[in-house]
């Protein structure tokens, strides 16, 4: 019997969004022999991926084996579930854990993306070092490598190209409608559409509706995360999972706007309020702790010491930049520190004394913290003024193991979701279920799976 004729298309795979998820999807599709184009509404590609530290988990990668680190997809899945607690996308945890090491190896080996295993510290939620990041630990470097690879694979990345809606015929997605760019409104027909447009962190109405716990946090992710792709899919009958989860960040340097590396805290640093008192147990992680910090009026301070400052600056470019920009204060002793950050010296001395006793194990920490990294802080001290923030949403539509969007009757033909458009694996609600790397794992991992599947079904 003759094969049914395929519809005429402009391109095999249309990818919406030129962040990590979209670029990975396009690369996987072209690896599989399909043609792909990436449409980006902003002036520049990169989205939240460019703002990130570019850290991607790989559970059982060959670099871990070389470093003598025992890891596996099962261990990664167990770690993620321990951090997140039970949730509505647990199948996806196993899918992404299985995909994680092959994902990192594919990016490095096939597309020469420069990712290196981070061994100098473990990240929030992970029982072994398993995050792989650009040497600079800057998402810009990851995006630059992905764009270079896309160019080499003949993938066109069109910026200033906002997708207005999906082209839907008889319940199947057949392409997209672009509107508002210099070429006016036009339709692009395709066999598959991969929605890699991230979540809805920049849309206050969707935040209020789906993730009200994040309403009090200032959004510091990319402007493009306005949630339209999620809304198109809900209109098609898709349903949300883990809709109230998000990645927060407890300590964005203020007014500098860059991350105060959480390594400062993992090595023994603490967060204090405007009176010089501890805020709580920082070891819940930078995302979970954001909610606690948001309950404190006014900016807070991250307090650590100059050993920690110098070590982190040597490994993390963004922190080194913050230091160079004058964002890290140094103080010879407690009184100088109190004066430098404007808090009560007596209270600060008491706070540091209690933390010292807990860190050296001579008294339990009243806040319950048991992990103190390098132990008690020592003079000279260092401190960063900080505010809590929302980085991205982790709730999205349900997808299957190929990143196909699920409607009421199974996969909706022709459409995939990656990254923030899809349900995340960081628990049902709030920021505390987020493990480091969950954002990029879902973006790059689902992007890779979507692109591969979209190309495979073309034959």
**Which residues here bind ligand FAD, judged by CB under 6 A?**
16-22, 39-42, 47-49, 51-55, 162-163, 196-198, 221-222, 224-225, 228-229, 247, 259, 391-392, 418-420, 437-441, 443
Beta carbon nearer to ligand FAD, 47 or 299: 47
Beta carbon nearer to ligand FAD, 17 or 58: 17
Beta carbon nearer to ligand FAD, 47 or 327: 47
Cα torsion angle, 123, 280, 300, 330, sign: negative
- The nearest distance, CB 151 to ligand FAD, in angstroms, is 17
Kindly report the number of other CB atoms within 10 A of residue 322's CB atom: 22
Identify which of 194, 100, 238, 247 has the alpha carbon closest to the alpha carbon of residue 447: 194
Q: What is the DSSP string of 148-173?
A: HHHHHTT-EEESS--EEEEEEETTEE
The order of strands in the sheet holding 131-133 is 56-57, 131-133, 116-117
Beta carbon nearer to ligand FAD, 266 or 305: 266
Per-residue CA distances from 285 to 15, 85, 122, 321 (Å) = 33, 15, 12, 23
- The nearest distance, CB 111 to ligand FAD, in angstroms, is 16
- The nearest distance, CB 363 to ligand FAD, in angstroms, is 35
Q: Which residue(s) pair with 36 in the sheet? A: 13
- The nearest distance, CB 445 to ligand FAD, in angstroms, is 10
Going through 6-100 in order, the beta strands assigned E by DSSP cover 11-16, 36-39, 56-57
- Strands 11-16 and 36-39 come out as parallel
- The nearest distance, CB 196 to ligand FAD, in angstroms, is 5
Beta carbon nearer to ligand FAD, 175 or 420: 420
Beta carbon nearer to ligand FAD, 72 or 179: 179
Beta carbon nearer to ligand FAD, 276 or 420: 420
CA atoms of 200 and 203, how far apart (whole Å): 5
- The nearest distance, CB 130 to ligand FAD, in angstroms, is 12
- The nearest distance, CB 431 to ligand FAD, in angstroms, is 12
Beta carbon nearer to ligand FAD, 17 or 431: 17
CA atoms of 36 and 190, how far apart (whole Å): 9
CA atoms of 133 and 16, how far apart (whole Å): 24
Largest Cα separation within the chain, whole Å, is: 86
Contact at 8 Å (CB) between 400 and 428?
no
Beta carbon nearer to ligand FAD, 30 or 225: 225
- Strands 404-407 and 163-169 come out as unpaired
CA atoms of 74 and 130, how far apart (whole Å): 13
- The nearest distance, CB 262 to ligand FAD, in angstroms, is 10
- The nearest distance, CB 32 to ligand FAD, in angstroms, is 19
CA atoms of 19 and 315, how far apart (whole Å): 25
Beta carbon nearer to ligand FAD, 29 or 51: 51
Angle at 437 between CA 32 and CA 246, to 5 degrees: 110
Beta carbon nearer to ligand FAD, 224 or 285: 224
Contact at 8 Å (CB) between 99 and 449?
yes
- The nearest distance, CB 350 to ligand FAD, in angstroms, is 33
- The nearest distance, CB 198 to ligand FAD, in angstroms, is 3
| Alpha-helical runs (H) found in 252-377 | 263-266, 289-294, 306-315, 317-324, 334-341, 345-360
Beta carbon nearer to ligand FAD, 44 or 151: 44
Angle at 453 between CA 187 and CA 172, to 5 degrees: 40
CA atoms of 122 and 134, how far apart (whole Å): 16
Q: Report phi then psi at 380, rounded to 5.
A: -70, 150
- The nearest distance, CB 392 to ligand FAD, in angstroms, is 5
């Amino acid at each position: 019997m003759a094969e049914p004729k395929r519809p005429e298309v402009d391109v095999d795979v249309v990818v919406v969004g030129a962040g990590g998820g979209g670029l990975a999807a396009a690369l996987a599709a072209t690896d599989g022999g399909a043609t792909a184009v990436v449409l980006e509404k902003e002036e520049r590609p990169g989205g939240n991926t460019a703002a990130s530290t570019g850290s991607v988990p790989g559970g059982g990668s060959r670099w871990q084996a070389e470093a003598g680190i025992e890891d596996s997809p099962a261990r990664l899945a167990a770690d993620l579930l321990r951090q997140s607690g039970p949730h509505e996308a647990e199948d996806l945890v196993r899918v992404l854990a299985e995909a994680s090491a092959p994902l990192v190896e594919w990016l490095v080996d096939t597309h020469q993306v420069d990712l290196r295993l981070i061994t100098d510290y473990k990240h929030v939620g992970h029982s072994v070092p398993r995050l792989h990041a650009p040497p600079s630990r800057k998402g810009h470097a990851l995006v630059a490598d992905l764009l270079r690879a896309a160019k080499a694979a003949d993938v066109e990345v069109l910026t200033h190209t906002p997708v207005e809606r999906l082209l839907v015929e008889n319940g199947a997605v057949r392409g997209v409608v672009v509107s508002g760019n210099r070429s006016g409104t036009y339709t692009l027909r395709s066999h598959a559409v991969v929605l890699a447009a991230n979540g809805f962190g920049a849309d206050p109405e969707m935040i209020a509706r789906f993730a009200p716990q994040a309403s009090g946090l200032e959004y510091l992710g990319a402007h493009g995360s306005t949630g339209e792709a999620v809304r198109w899919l809900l209109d098609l009958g898709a349903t949300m999972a883990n809709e109230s989860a998000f990645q927060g960040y407890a300590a964005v340097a203020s007014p500098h706007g860059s991350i105060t590396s959480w390594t400062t805290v993992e090595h023994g640093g603490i967060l204090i309020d405007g009176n010089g008192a501890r805020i709580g147990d920082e070891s819940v992680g930078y995302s979970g702790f954001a909610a606690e910090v948001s309950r404190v009026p006014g900016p807070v301070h991250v307090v650590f010491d100059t050993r920690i400052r110098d070590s982190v600056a040597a490994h993390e470019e963004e922190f080194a930049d913050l230091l160079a920009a004058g964002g890290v204060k140094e103080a010879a002793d407690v009184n100088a520190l109190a004066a430098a950050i404007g808090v009560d010296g007596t209270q600060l001395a008491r706070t540091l004394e209690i933390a010292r006793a807990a860190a050296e194990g001579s008294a339990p920490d009243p806040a319950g913290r048991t992990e103190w990294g390098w132990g008690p802080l020592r003079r000279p001290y260092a401190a960063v003024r900080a505010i809590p923030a929302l980085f991205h949403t982790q709730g999205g539509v349900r997808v299957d193991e190929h990143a196909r969007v699920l409607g009421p009757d199974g996969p909706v033909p022709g459409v995939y979701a990656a990254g923030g458009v899809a349900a995340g694996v960081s628990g049902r609600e709030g920021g505390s279920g987020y493990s480091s790397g969950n954002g990029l794992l879902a973006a790059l991992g689902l992007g890779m799976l979507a692109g591969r599947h979209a190309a495979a079904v073309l034959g």
